[in-house]
Amino acid sequence: MRRTCPIRLTDLGDWVSDAVTGWGDLPIYRLAAPNDLPALDLTVESFRTAGLSVVRRRDSGIIEARGRSEDPRTLITPDFLGIVLEASIREDPREYLPDFDDETLRALLPESQFISFRSGVEGGTQVIGPGGKVSIFRTATAVWVDVTVRKKVRAYSSRWRAPRSIYIPCQREFAPWREQIEVEPLAGYFELSKYETQLILRPAFVFIFSVAGDTENAVSWQTIRVEPATVGDEIPLRAGLGQWQSSRQETDNE
């Protein structure tokens, strides 16, 4: 997850309200089920031209591509990155943004050990969570490419939850630490890791709560809460969020 500047727990309500006000209307997406994705298609074939073997995970449908580092086709060059991104766009047409600048790229390639791209949908709304990324790892013997993005197949209109229903449960849960705790808030579409099945992609808030130990015997700790930002008709409130914990078990239909 991309990190943001921490805020105080008491400021969380203002941050959520500002985010809701500035975000605009966003749909909830139905995602393709892993069993509905073809094992062989143009996405897979384009990876093979780059010297990579490709599989789809049966649990999530995510593409994993593997190659040998001694194969000249797998050097992490601009051409290689172009093939990876073109295949990723075929998998799901969204925006892919590098987590590095051009100068850094020129300095690192082709010896780079790790390069990643984050994705965005609906006019660039960032995808947050463990997924929503294209990652390229290079070791002495192998090159690994993970396209942790899922294919969108249908859009549903959604409406915003009341901001208080999003942040008040968190403020109550962490009230005992209100003087020590910091919150790193994120807003965007929440995508799961490559190990998890996901059928709904929805707007959500991610809150990273941290307390630093301020004495020799104090223990530092960190925990994460994920709150759905919008609701849609006939879509369960926590659909698409997997096992990520909320500050409450929601049963309402806000």
Q: Does 134 share its domain with 39?
A: yes
Return the pLDDT at 251: 46
Q: Does 144 share its domain with 64?
A: yes
Domain boundary among 127, 149, 171: 149
Domain boundary among 94, 122, 149: 149
Contact in structure between 33 and 61 (CB atoms under 8 Å): yes
Residue 179 lies in a domain: yes
Residue 67 lies in a domain: yes
Q: Does 143 share its domain with 160?
A: no
User: How many domains does the chain contain in total?
Assistant: 2
Q: Does 145 share its domain with 158?
A: no
Q: Does 48 share its domain with 90?
A: yes
Q: Does 129 share its domain with 76?
A: yes
Q: Does 44 share its domain with 137?
A: yes
Residue 244 lies in a domain: no
Structure tokens at 141: 């013997």
Q: How far apart are the first and last CA of the chain?
A: 27
Q: Does 199 share its domain with 218?
A: yes
Residue 236 lies in a domain: no
Per-residue pLDDT of the chain (254 residues; tens, 9 = 90+): 455 689 999 999 999 999 999 888 899 999 999 999 887 666 667 788 889 999 899 999 999 999 998 999 888 888 888 999 999 998 999 999 988 766 656 565 555 678 899 999 987 899 999 999 999 998 889 999 999 999 999 999 999 999 999 999 999 999 999 999 999 999 999 999 999 999 999 999 999 999 987 666 566 899 999 999 999 998 999 999 999 988 765 544 44
Print the domain residue range for 175.
7-30+154-231
Residue 241 lies in a domain: no
Residue 224 lies in a domain: yes
Residue 105 lies in a domain: yes
Q: Does 66 share its domain with 18?
A: no
Q: Is the peptide bond before 176 cis (omega within 30 degrees of 0)?
A: no
Q: Which residues contact 45 (CB under 8 A, 6 or more apart)?
A: none
Residue 166 lies in a domain: yes
Domain boundary among 105, 123, 149: 149
Residues belonging to the chain: 254
Q: Does 45 share its domain with 128?
A: yes
Query: pTM of the entire structure?
Result: 0.90
Q: Does 46 share its domain with 111?
A: yes
Q: Does 55 share its domain with 135?
A: yes
